[in-house]
Amino acid sequence: MLRYISRRTLVMVPVVFVVSMIVFFIIQLPPGDFVSGYAAKMATSGEIMDERALALLRESYGLDRPWYEQYWTWIWGIVTEGDFGYSLSYNRPVSDIIGQYMGITVLVSVLSMLFTYIVAIPIGILSAVKPYSFFDYLATGIGFLGMAMPNFLFAIILMFLSFKWWGDPMLGLFSPEFADAPWTAAKWADLFQHMIIPVIVIGTSNTCELIRVMRGQMLDEMSKPHIATARAKGLPERRILLKYAARAAINPIVSTLGWSLTTIFTGSTITAIVLNLPTQGPVMHKALLSQDMYLAGSWLLLMAVFTLIGTLVSDILLAWLDPRIRLERKGAGA
């Protein structure tokens, strides 16, 4: 297993390098650059910048160089100094912005993932154990409704209900009195209170999808011969369901752990804007609109790294859950 992890980690390095190059190139494909967008914004307020001023501004930002030279400067700074470049739209180092927003983003994403799996797996198992029952139809109906409803609309509905029942729409992650206050138990309590709506909204769409996956896999596993053999031996039904059927049925869900993490990161942008969340979604949106290539490229590079790490974790969990996968890897020299 250690050899397998080491080999996969080494393979991740060139993959991240290629992804970073593609990301940096695609960000610069649209016509114009940050300076032209800035000039257009200034023109709306009546201030016109001449071509010489624009050329000097591009030279000071290094935007007059070819994209591959800009990329090499950026990636070399990351590798040698941990410097992600300078954000043109925020007028701050990219590492400062990542440090400001990454903690809250990871917290919201991890809680959303926990909500997704804690809710989806038990409901999927119960739906398979009692197929075509009232509970199964109810879970199916709620699942289809959750998959069909846009996240931002669900967020607006929950905000309205929160305001109607408690007088607070729960915008943002802190109440005004705690926004700039030092971290105390009261501030942590306020944070988790405001996080209820984002976690439910962001986690619901994935939850509804995984319920259907878990139900289908459980129904398939429960019809296999080894389950019938276990029942014939008189094993308790709960042990059969949890140790044999559910353990095998959960494999497809575990295998998508890396994709799910990135989906939550990138799919929460509109929800974050609606709920006024200080996460990476609105930051990424602003960076892409303004063609702030260092900030946008750094966030997308981190998303690629999270995807690769999540995929590696998924493979390790699959090997732990399924003995057949461990045997295949041993046979392959892993």
The domain limits of the chain are 15-83, 95-331
Low-confidence winner among 159-168, 271-280, 311-320, 324-333 (lowest mean pLDDT): 324-333
* DSSP 8-state class, residue 80: H
Neighbouring C-beta atoms of residue 148, cutoff 10 Å: 9
Beta carbons within 10 angstroms of residue 238's beta carbon:
8
Predicted confidence band of residue 323 (pLDDT cuts 50, 70, 90): low
Contact assessment for residue 183 and residue 159, using Cβ atoms and an 8 Å cutoff: no
What pLDDT does residue 263 have?
A: 62
Closest CA to 20 of 88, 87, 68, 89: 68
CA–CA–CA angle 201, 285, 18 (5° rounding): 105
E strand residue ranges, the chain: 86-87, 92-93
Task: Give the Cα separation of 240 and 232 in Å (integer).
Answer: 11
Nearby residues of 27 by Cβ (< 8 Å), 6 or more positions away: 288, 291, 293, 296, 297, 300
Q: Reply yes or no on whether the pLDDT at 315 is more than 80.
A: no
Q: What is the pLDDT of residues 83-134, one digit of tens each?
A: 888 888 888 888 888 888 888 888 888 888 888 888 888 998 888 888 888 9
Per-residue pLDDT tens over the stretch 273-285: 888 888 887 888 8
Place of tokens 């080494």: 10
Q: How many residues does the chain have?
A: 334
Per CATH, domain 95-331 is 3.40.605.10: no
Nearest C-alpha neighbor of 288 from the set 34, 85, 17: 34
pLDDT digits (tens, 9 = 90+) for 18-48: 888 888 888 877 777 777 777 777 777 777 7
DSSP bridge pairs for 87: 92
pTM of the model: 0.77
SS (H, E, C) 197-247: HHHHHHHHHHHHHHHHHHHHHHHHHHCCHHHHHHHHCCCCHHHHHHHHHHH
pLDDT greater than 60 at residue 331: no
Average pLDDT over residues 233-257: 82
